[in-house]
Structure 1
């Protein structure tokens, strides 16, 4: 057995041999030094030398010693994943690659020589998730409810969990539903029947009555939104913060007739809000959350256009003639217009059907209290 000074010399020479791309000499020197190893023994170096020689079991033993000393060593996690992959254990390989990726994302440095292995590991994880999903579907079968399909997508990493995250007011206990079935809101049918008339009203007013949807309110910080003050996303209001916009309403009787079918909420100073929402070609509304989860947002098409879509949670849909959307805007959502034409919808809000009348009244009082606070 080598003494301490001999062990230090062997380690130094072994590391030099590894750097000189002589893994056989490096492994021989480091193996000898390992017999009297202290706390600072370079197990990663021995593992790399054994790996270069194809001694996978010996390499894994050395890497395991390094991970016992530091369970979050990114390099050791990557090499352990690589070894498990080569030894035919893809699930274990994926778990170590994922642990390494998590540590790297948290700020742990990745050794430069292993940057390529990190990229490989991320690709390996993605490919394995695809294989895993295919295996699950083969075993479970294709006759599944939408909820079970989504559950499998979540299990395999194809989808992610999106939950209500309102920016101002959260009402507990509500179902986490992205889109609601429009058949549950029969008053949408007569509104859809008026879509052609609303389109004609829009075409007659295409150059008037619109303003940027994202605006800077007086005595408040400007919102950090790339659409601030831009007409890329614009609004033509019929109801705004509980007040009727009389000029716009008088000019668009069909639109007001359509809104008359909807059970608009009435909260002084807050609701109804109802508007034509226009998205110009190339515009994108970035992912965001609504202010509260006690309402649903409704879209009735006025002027549809190709290449326009709305994503709520993991569900992405395109606006089409004759189809309305009812969705929970307290779930992360975003909208796109990748086509050559403007898209216009009638946007308004309704109470969530799960909120009982007495709680609707209490919520209205809460917002009246919020609005009156600090006002002399």
Structure 2
């Protein structure tokens, strides 16, 4: 059963079935086939932290949130056109942007083509100063988000369908702000648990990516959202445990590999831009 979600992320729930977060998504190959003893120990800690997060959440645990739950969302929406202006300049070199899995190796299990691209600003303590310099207004605006952990442009090219999956950890929530949303809207959506959500330009959608979700762009044009992860509001002791885990994330292989891959892309991307400027001069 599907649920349509309006521009402000509000939803109508059919029946009283409580949504449930699962640890893995059926049909998706695990990233770690034979995890080490240390990795298995860390995974048990994460599983325990996820149970704490569900129990001590200050904002409940719905798959999709009413935007009014987070007063700062309205401030982001009011300035969305400034973000869109900077995005338009980024998209002038769309073909040169990296595919998501090029800088996030764990994404390789759900996306293998080059039709999901990204322009990365920050993630778990790692930031791209050169990309931020291209989008100063976007950077200023996302600083309004309490507990900001990641910020980037998520670019779905025509025909992209992201397979059902769940995020790695429920200690963060996800914000999408529609920046470039082509028609027809019924060919463009994201499903979170049982709820079908449609993006709108200038409107926010807040959801918990620890629920199974999938997204698709069956139009013939590119869709772009501002993609943000922020810390889920929690009570003690979950708040403390969550803080510790999120601050340790920068030391994980996925984050470090992604940082190295992005540095290599960034070096090439800006070297080409510099060469073009010198040629024109």
Check 1:368–1:351 CA distance in 2 against 1; reply closer, same or farther (3 A cut).
Answer: closer
Which of 185, 210, 227 aligns to 2:97? It is 210
Q: Check the 8 A contact 2:120/2:153 in 1, yes or no.
A: yes
Question: Could you list the per-position Cα deviations for residues 262-289 of structure 1 after superposition, in whole angstroms to 9, with x for gaps in the alignment?
Answer: 1134xxxxxx211100101100111000
Deviation of 1:356 (Å): 2.1
- Give the TM-score of the pair, scaled to structure 2: 0.66
Partner of 1:361: 240
Indicate the structure with greater helix content.
1
Deviation of 1:318 (Å): 0.9
Deviation of 1:357 (Å): 5.8
Number of residue pairs aligned between Structure 1 and Structure 2: 210
Question: Could you list the per-position Cα deviations for residues 98-117 of structure 1 after superposition, in whole angstroms to 9, with x for gaps in the alignment?
Answer: xxxxxxxxxxxxxxxxxxxx
Indicate the structure with greater strand content.
2
Q: Check the 8 A contact 2:156/2:217 in 1, yes or no.
A: yes
Partner of 1:305: 182
Matched, 1:260 2:117: no
1:106-117 residue pairs with structure 2 within 5 A? none
Q: Rg bigger for which structure? A: 1
Q: Check the 8 A contact 2:176/2:226 in 1, yes or no.
A: yes
Partner of 1:246: 129
Check 1:369–1:264 CA distance in 2 against 1; reply closer, same or farther (3 A cut).
Answer: closer
- SS in structure 1 of the partner of residue 76 of structure 2: helix
Matched, 1:328 2:208: yes
Q: Check the 8 A contact 1:166/1:331 in 2, yes or no.
A: no
Which of 21, 24, 27 aligns to 1:164? It is 21
Which of 151, 162, 181 aligns to 2:66? It is 181
Check 1:261–1:371 CA distance in 2 against 1; reply closer, same or farther (3 A cut).
Answer: closer
Check 1:304–1:252 CA distance in 2 against 1; reply closer, same or farther (3 A cut).
Answer: same
Ranges in structure 1 where 5+ consecutive residues have no aligned partner: 1-144, 155-160, 266-271
Q: Check the 8 A contact 1:166/1:292 in 2, yes or no.
A: no
Matched, 1:284 2:161: yes
Deviation of 1:245 (Å): 0.9
Partner of 2:81: 196
Partner of 1:28: none
Question: Could you list the per-position Cα deviations for residues 232-289 of structure 1 after superposition, in whole angstroms to 9, with x for gaps in the alignment?
Answer: 1111111023122111111111211220211134xxxxxx211100101100111000
Partner of 1:150: 15
Deviation of 1:329 (Å): 0.5
RMSD: 2.8
Question: Could you list the per-position Cα deviations for residues 174-217 of structure 1 after superposition, in whole angstroms to 9, with x for gaps in the alignment?
Answer: 54411011012111112112221211211111115731112377
Deviation of 1:345 (Å): 0.6
Looking at structure 2, the residues matched to 201 and 284 of structure 1 have their Cα atoms a distance apart, in angstroms, of 26
Ranges in structure 2 where 5+ consecutive residues have no aligned partner: 1-10, 25-42, 254-281
Deviation of 1:349 (Å): 1.1
Q: Check the 8 A contact 1:281/1:342 in 2, yes or no.
A: yes
Partner of 2:27: none
Q: Check the 8 A contact 2:124/2:247 in 1, yes or no.
A: no
Q: Check the 8 A contact 1:163/1:331 in 2, yes or no.
A: yes
Looking at structure 2, the residues matched to 366 and 320 of structure 1 have their Cα atoms a distance apart, in angstroms, of 33
Check 1:339–1:274 CA distance in 2 against 1; reply closer, same or farther (3 A cut).
Answer: same
Looking at structure 2, the residues matched to 346 and 337 of structure 1 have their Cα atoms a distance apart, in angstroms, of 16
Q: Check the 8 A contact 2:122/2:150 in 1, yes or no.
A: yes
Check 1:309–1:222 CA distance in 2 against 1; reply closer, same or farther (3 A cut).
Answer: closer
